[in-house]
């Protein structure tokens, strides 16, 4: 079997977390020459992940500017990645998910007639407005992909209905590989777990923890005002403490910081690195988020998740009853959090550990598929039982 050269490209925090274990798997395989390019769409939040997983980028496009526009960002990425693709001349370009980095780099590779592999292919809401612009990005990438690495049967099914030309492979989501690696690190290295714990001396053992994240464009403005108001209402509960690592986007911080910054029950902190965030998820009683990745991680950890969106491209855990959609709506958020805190039977249903998104072996499957090796695709226990 001949060696292949793989150029892996990513630029934001979630892409880096989900590509990190894949880069490790590519680097470990003697049949692969692995080259890594970061777009730098995120700067600080990307660098946190690079350090944690000891990743080194061969190329860094350094595209981020403060408060960047979608068109400006897209233009910088597609312009700067072209020279890297021309220089590296890979057999495959791998991109991830639904960001501007992913769609710009997939198109750049397509224009240079380089084969594209899309990691986390086939997620759909069917609504181009939600999430915006991600639903468009992931469709564009799938159109030009030779390999579509679908995490689940649902995503495979979505792709089948679109009559696309690439090959579909069901792999599980690589986020479960990253999460399993990280929980194992915390479990097997108690000194490391103690170091993380020591960074949060202000967490009150007597009060429940609500962990919050939010960044979606469709919630900018009124949505983040509603979310902040709901959190301010909840902060009045003496049995609760709110921990909120606030995304670095000025559109988010400009609303959240002035509204919640002075409330004693609300800990607004900067984005934390993945090790700390996994520790915080394990420590939390309840998670309130609009993040895609957190929707996939929390069910694996057995943590209830309320999602501040009206639709999701990750329906599997909603169907299983461990994730619920509450929109960016002040009253719905407040009621749903209160119910989970006050009604133990309602919380118990959400706390089941389920694994609809992966088994921790997605990256091995992707490498095997690229090399033409045989392997078994991902399936859930329920799917195998049928």
Q: Interface with ligand UDP by CB under 6 A: which range of 106-114, 149-157, 186-194, 268-276?
A: 268-276
Q: Interface with ligand UDP by CB under 6 A: which range of 166-174, 234-242, 271-279, 301-309?
A: 271-279
> By C-alpha distance, which of 215, 208, 309 is closest to 256?
215
The β-bridge relationship of strands 208-213 and 286-289 is parallel
- What is the secondary structure of 334-365 as a DSSP string? HHHHHHHHH-HHHHHHHT----SS--S-HHHH
214 interacts with ligand UD1 by CB under 6 A: no
Task: Return phi, psi of residue 116, to 5°.
Answer: -110, 135
What whole-number distance in Å separates Cα of residue 200 and Cα of residue 191?
15
Does the active-site annotation cover 156? no
Helix (H, G, I), strand (E, B) or coil at 93: strand
Token pair of 313 as six digits: 């491209």
Does the active-site annotation cover 98? yes
Measured from the CB atom, is 165 or 195 closer to ligand UDP? 195
Radius of gyration of the CA atoms of the chain, in A: 20
Residue 329 interacts with which of ligand UDP, ligand UD1, none, CB < 5 to 8 Å by class: none
Residue 133 interacts with which of ligand UD1, ligand UDP, none, CB < 5 to 8 Å by class: ligand UD1
Q: In what helix (H) or strand (E) does residue 174 lie, and over which residues does it extend?
A: helix 174-188
Chain positions 72 to 131 lying near ligand UDP, rule: CB under 6 A, are none
Instruction: Pick the catalytic residue from 15, 29, 60, 134.
Output: 134
The residue to which tokens 């607004």 are assigned:
268
17 interacts with ligand UDP by CB under 6 A: yes
> By C-alpha distance, which of 19, 58, 87, 25 is closest to 371?
25
Q: Count of CB atoms within 10 A of residue 106's CB?
A: 28
The residue to which tokens 């590296």 are assigned:
88
45 interacts with ligand UD1 by CB under 6 A: yes
Q: Are 134 and 326 in contact (CB under 8 A)?
A: no
14 interacts with ligand UD1 by CB under 6 A: yes
13 interacts with ligand UDP by CB under 6 A: yes
Q: Are 117 and 146 in contact (CB under 8 A)?
A: yes
Instruction: Pick the catalytic residue from 98, 218, 276, 296.
Output: 98
31 interacts with ligand UD1 by CB under 6 A: no
Does the active-site annotation cover 60? no
Does the active-site annotation cover 113? no
Chain positions 81 to 140 lying near ligand UD1, rule: CB under 6 A, are 98-100, 133-134
Measured from the CB atom, is 67 or 262 closer to ligand UD1? 67
Token pair of 8 as six digits: 């892996």
Does the active-site annotation cover 215? yes
Measured from the CB atom, is 59 or 244 closer to ligand UDP? 244
**Contact footprint for ligand UDP (CB under 6 A):** 13-14, 17, 175, 213, 215, 245, 271-272, 274, 277, 291-294, 297
Q: Which amino acids are annotated catalytic?
A: 98, 120, 134, 215, 217, 247
List of residues contacting ligand UD1 (CB under 6 A): 12-14, 41-45, 64, 66-68, 70, 73, 98-100, 133-134, 215, 248-250
């Amino acid at each position: 079997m001949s060696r292949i050269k793989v150029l892996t490209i990513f630029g934001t925090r979630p892409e880096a977390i989900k590509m990190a274990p894949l880069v490790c798997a590519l680097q470990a395989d003697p049949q692969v020459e692995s080259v890594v390019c970061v777009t730098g769409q995120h700067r600080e939040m990307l660098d946190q992940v690079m350090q944690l997983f000891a990743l080194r980028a061969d190329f860094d496009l350094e595209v981020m500017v403060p408060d960047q526009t979608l068109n400006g960002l897209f233009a910088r990425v597609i312009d700067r990645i072209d020279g890297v693709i021309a220089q590296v001349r890979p057999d495959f370009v791998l991109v991830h998910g639904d960001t501007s980095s992913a769609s710009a780099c997939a198109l750049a590779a397509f224009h240079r007639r380089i084969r594209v592999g899309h990691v986390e292919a086939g997620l759909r809401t069917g609504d181009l407005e939600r999430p915006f612009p991600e639903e468009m990005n992931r469709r564009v990438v799938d159109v030009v992909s030779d390999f579509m690495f679908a995490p689940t049967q649902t995503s495979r099914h979505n792709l089948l209905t679109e009559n696309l030309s690439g090959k579909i492979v069901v792999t599980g989501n690589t986020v479960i590989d990253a999460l399993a690696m990280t929980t194992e690190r915390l479990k097997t290295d108690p000194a490391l777990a103690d170091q993380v714990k020591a960074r949060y001396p202000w967490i009150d053992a007597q009060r429940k923890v609500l962990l919050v994240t939010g960044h979606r464009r469709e919630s900018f403005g009124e949505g983040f005002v509603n979310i902040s108001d709901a959190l301010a209402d909840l902060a009045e509960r003496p049995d609760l403490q709110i921990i909120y690592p606030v995304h670095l986007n000025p559109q988010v911080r400009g609303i959240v910081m002035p509204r919640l910054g002075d409330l004693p029950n609300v800990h607004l902190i900067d984005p934390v690195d993945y090790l700390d965030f996994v520790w915080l998820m394990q420590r939390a009683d309840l998670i309130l988020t609009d993040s895609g990745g957190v929707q996939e991680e929390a069910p694996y950890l057995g943590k209830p998740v309320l999602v501040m969106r009206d639709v999701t491209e990750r329906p599997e855990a909603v169907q299983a009853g461990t994730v619920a959609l509450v929109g960016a709506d002040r009253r719905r958020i407040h009621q749903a959090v209160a119910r989970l805190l006050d009604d133990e039977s309602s919380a118990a249903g959400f706390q089941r550990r389920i694994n609809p998104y992966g088994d921790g072996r997605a990256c091995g499957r992707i490498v095997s598929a690229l090399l033409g090796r045989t392997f078994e695709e991902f399936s859930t226990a329920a799917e195998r039982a049928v």
